[in-house]
């Protein structure tokens, strides 16, 4: 039964998947703040962000982490993540264009899991997020 998720026999070490996101906007920041409860004003108050020395508000890191988790869930299936770890390495500004990238670093056929290296880069090449994950992979092979 095919449900759209990747199968173990379709993956090899070194395989890469990347996703180009729609342009991020202040509306994304605000929607995430309301949904998550992260009301750190650095993410929605431009006056305060500038007073703190930034050119403008920037994205909550967990917005990008949450969206990357969405793409991984779409790739491997709901409930497939076993571990997910991210480190925020750069700000994401309004109107940034982002690319999510996941590389299969290790494949464990016995456990039916893959270890992934993750990164998010913006349109000027800056890496804004680095991370890794372990995902269970569905039947196949």
**Residues at the site binding another protein, with contacts judged by CB under 8 A:** 21, 28, 31-32, 34-38, 40, 42, 52, 60-63, 65-67, 69-73, 78-79, 81-88
Q: How many residues in total does the chain contain?
A: 141
* C-beta of 67 vs 104, nearer to another protein: 67
For the CB of residue 100, give the shortest distance to another protein in the complex, in Å. 10
Q: Are 111 and 134 in contact (CB under 8 A)?
A: no
* C-beta of 57 vs 63, nearer to another protein: 63
For the CB of residue 36, give the shortest distance to another protein in the complex, in Å. 5
For the CB of residue 138, give the shortest distance to another protein in the complex, in Å. 14
**In sequence order, which residues have a C-beta less than 8 Å from that of residue 22 and are 6 or more positions away?**
none
* C-beta of 29 vs 121, nearer to another protein: 29
Measured distance CA(131)–CA(30) in Å, rounded: 24
**In sequence order, which residues have a C-beta less than 8 Å from that of residue 110 and are 6 or more positions away?**
none
Q: Are 72 and 136 in contact (CB under 8 A)?
A: no
For the CB of residue 8, give the shortest distance to another protein in the complex, in Å. 18
For the CB of residue 95, give the shortest distance to another protein in the complex, in Å. 17
The token duo for 27 is: 């509306």
* C-beta of 2 vs 12, nearer to another protein: 2
**In sequence order, which residues have a C-beta less than 8 Å from that of residue 64 and are 6 or more positions away?**
86, 88, 92, 98, 120, 128, 129
* C-beta of 60 vs 121, nearer to another protein: 60
């Amino acid at each position: 039964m095919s449900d759209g998720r990747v199968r173990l026999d379709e993956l090899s070490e070194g395989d890469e998947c990347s996703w180009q996101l729609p342009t991020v906007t202040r509306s994304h920041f605000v929607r995430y703040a309301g949904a998550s409860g992260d009301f750190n004003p650095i993410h929605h108050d431009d006056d305060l962000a500038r007073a703190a020395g930034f050119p403008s508000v920037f994205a909550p890191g967990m917005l990008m982490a949450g969206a990357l988790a969405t793409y991984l869930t779409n790739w491997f299936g709901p409930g497939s993540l076993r571990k997910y770890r991210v480190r925020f390495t750069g700000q994401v500004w309004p109107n940034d264009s982002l690319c999510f990238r996941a590389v299969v670093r290790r494949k464990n056929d016995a456990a039916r899991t893959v270890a992934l290296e993750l990164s998010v880069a913006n349109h000027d090449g800056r890496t804004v997020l680095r991370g890794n994950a372990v995902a269970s992979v569905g039947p196949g092979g």
